[in-house]
Amino acid sequence: MKPPSALCSLNHAERGRLRGVDGRSRFGAPTSTLLHVIFTCPHGPGSQSPAAPLKGGGAGTGPPGSLRAGTAVAPASCSCAVVAMEDSWSERFHTVSPLLRSWALSQMVGTDVFLKCENMQPMGSFKIRGIGHFCQEVARKGCRHLVCSSGGNAGLAAAYSARKLGLPATIVLPEATAPQVVRRLQGEGAEVLLAGKVWDDANLQAQTLAQRDGWVYVSPFDHPLIWEGHSSLVWELHAALGTPPGAVVLAVGGGGLLAGVSAGLLEVGWQHVPIIAMETCGAHCFHAALEAGRLVTLPDITSVATSLGAKTATAQALVCAQQSTILSRVVQDAEAVSAVQRFLDDERMLVEPACGAALAAIYSGLLGQLQAEGRLSPSLASVVVIVCGGNNIDSRQLQSLQTQLGQT
């Protein structure tokens, strides 16, 4: 191999792949920092480095952000070049999560159902994608203290990111937050404050604290960098599946995951793929907004799916409704919790009720209903369920939820 040379072997398309619309990578790093090494390739035009194969769901076929971490690709236009990519924050905080075919759910739906296992992310939910990205960006810009309001999972992602970045973090949560979540946050070195009944109360407190000098407010769902980080999930689906699924099922709280997935679908050219947006009754601010045609603030959060418990969705969620096909459905808490139990039995994974809301699209037969109503194709290529994960659950909590909901 020759020593590093210039970047001139990249053609326009490859440069575009590495660059966002503003000339920076989609994850914010200037393009130049993405490329450290170009060296001669022994494998011919368009070949892939044996050290970093691109096919089969590897990060390399994804967006610029996922090309980091040493992925190598030979530009098709260049007769013998391998480009190894690294960047100043190649230590992306999230992982490429597994995409597993569920036999049980596929049987139920009558087509392949794939689970995008975000429960296997560091800190147990998809939140690390967007929050990790956001925190890295603000750290780069001189943030000295992160303060995040959360129903649990965003806070855990922020605390984890803060520790990795060497920044102090304060996480503000509702008073009823589960003790295991508080302990885990403290284990990450974060200061934990409990304030108010629901997330909106805790959020007010976090926003007040964020006025301190050098402190930066981390929203759990409402920032373009968060949506950008979440969109990496769709690029991974694109790399792994190759062909578009018939539908993507996800849970909606404040709408950050929805915004990221909708943006990602647009980016990969899958904007026609319907998103089935699931909420629980009592935490259904997005469904209410769609019905009203404007943002709606719920009077209270009454669902047990507390991490879906934002009283008002992000305005971006309504923008998504314009750019994507969104089928919004609301399930009862009992259906979400029953889905948690059935998923545990089927897949041996314990997820929280917020995630149960998404799983209920299948366990409660909603997918079939949407097909019968003609809103979804009767012959779906495949279905992807985003197993968003969550920490607000353990075996005892599941039992007590079932008792509370009359399921035992």
# of chain residues touching ligand PLV (CB under 6 A): 28
User: Counting contacts by CB under 6 A, is residue 320 touching ligand PLV?
Assistant: no
User: Counting contacts by CB under 6 A, is residue 264 touching ligand PLV?
Assistant: no
User: Counting contacts by CB under 6 A, is residue 353 touching ligand PLV?
Assistant: no
| Residue 402, burial from CB neighbour count under 10 angstroms (0-12, 13-18, 19+) | middle
CA 126/CA 116 separation, integer angstroms: 10
Answer for which of 63, 246, 256, 356 binds ligand PLV (CB under 6 A) is: 256
Q: With respect to ligand PLV, which residue has the nearer C-beta, 9 or 312?
A: 312
Among the listed ranges 44-52, 85-93, 332-340, 388-396, the one in contact with ligand PLV (CB under 6 A) is: 388-396
Return all residues near 283 (Cβ < 8 A) that are at least 6 apart. 253, 298, 301, 302, 303, 305, 306, 308, 309, 310
User: Counting contacts by CB under 6 A, is residue 205 touching ligand PLV?
Assistant: no
CA 98/CA 68 separation, integer angstroms: 18
CA 334/CA 129 separation, integer angstroms: 29
Answer for which of 60, 64, 220, 246 binds ligand PLV (CB under 6 A) is: 220
Question: For the chain, how long is the longest CA-to-CA vector?
Answer: 69
What six digits make up the tokens of 350? 């314990």
Among the listed ranges 76-84, 92-100, 135-143, 387-395, the one in contact with ligand PLV (CB under 6 A) is: 387-395
Among the listed ranges 80-88, 266-274, 324-332, 386-394, the one in contact with ligand PLV (CB under 6 A) is: 386-394
What one-letter code names the amino acid at 47? S
- Count of beta carbons in the 10 Å neighbourhood of residue 240: 20
Report the candidate in 175, 179, 250, 220 with the shortest Cα–Cα distance to residue 393.
Answer: 179
**Binders of ligand PLV among 354-373, rule CB under 6 A?**
354-355
Answer for which of 74, 154, 330, 337 binds ligand PLV (CB under 6 A) is: 154
User: Counting contacts by CB under 6 A, is residue 304 touching ligand PLV?
Assistant: no
**Binders of ligand PLV among 84-113, rule CB under 6 A?**
none
Residue nearest to ligand PLV (CB): 151
Bridge partners of 24, per DSSP, are: 30
In degrees rounded to 5, what are phi and psi of residue 78? -105, 130
Among the listed ranges 30-38, 137-145, 245-253, 330-338, the one in contact with ligand PLV (CB under 6 A) is: 245-253
Least distance CB 257 / ligand PLV (angstroms)? 4
Exposure b/e, 204-220, CB count within 10 A at least 16 = b:
ebbeebbeeeebbbbbb
Report the candidate in 269, 270, 152, 237 with the shortest Cα–Cα distance to residue 202.
Answer: 152
**Binders of ligand PLV among 161-200, rule CB under 6 A?**
199
Q: With respect to ligand PLV, which residue has the nearer C-beta, 66 or 150?
A: 150
CA atoms within 13 A on the CB side of 149: 25
Identify whether the C-beta of residue 193 lies closer than 8 Å to the C-beta of residue 171: yes
Least distance CB 251 / ligand PLV (angstroms)? 4
CA 66/CA 133 separation, integer angstroms: 12
Q: With respect to ligand PLV, which residue has the nearer C-beta, 61 or 121?
A: 121
Least distance CB 387 / ligand PLV (angstroms)? 9
**What does the binding site for ligand PLV look like in residue numbers (CB under 6 A)?**
125, 150-155, 199, 220-221, 251-258, 307-310, 352, 354-355, 388-390
